[in-house]
Structure 1
């Protein structure tokens, strides 16, 4: 129920600043509390913000809620991205940093880009609420993967 102008105003202006703030916050918190803890935090918050989009879809035209949801989502995206970049950086060998980081970061975006291409048809078939519920559920295996990674001794202190 929002116009393209309303969405662009919120996402491309205010949302950009929230993403930058989230990246800064994610870097600071990763250094302070550890990368694994921030990966968990980012994964849980991503699941929660997808559920907020579900609430937004059900509530109709509510510009204040749109600002809140976009702010939370972009802050979370920045935080989770900073933690994930720190994690990927810890996986690289100093001798091959550029090549390994390029491969890891490309693999990081592969699945979201493939699935993202079908998001429009998924929304048409499922509706917005069910789409965002499905997006939230996709975060559960990510949380399990972080737990699995954490079990390895190399990442216990990360």
Structure 2
């Protein structure tokens, strides 16, 4: 998994409207990038809603928040509309961004092993380098912790 000091990889993603973009569009300002397993599931919904609840605070810091999963853009759009999400959601259908960040990992559930996205968050500096990484995120209170870290920049 990428860690402090590593440069953010340039991989083209799709936004919820299906348009291409890269994280380079945010260069010159700090950025929060979080990876989540699947849109519209309980933990992922809580996390997205928590970041949305603090969206004005992140915006006041000039710090966009981007959530990345392997969901298709149409599913992301539906998810964002259903919950009124105020964060940018990005589709990494190919898994290239998950691979580059190291969030595509082997998981285990009830003894069954499978590949999936590890919930992780990265605070990226204006120069495109990771300032802080949170692997294996627990959702409760996480968005507030990331905001606090961002306020310390």
Same structural fold, with TM-score higher than 0.5 when normalized by the shorter chain: no
Which structure features the higher share of helix residues?
Answer: 1
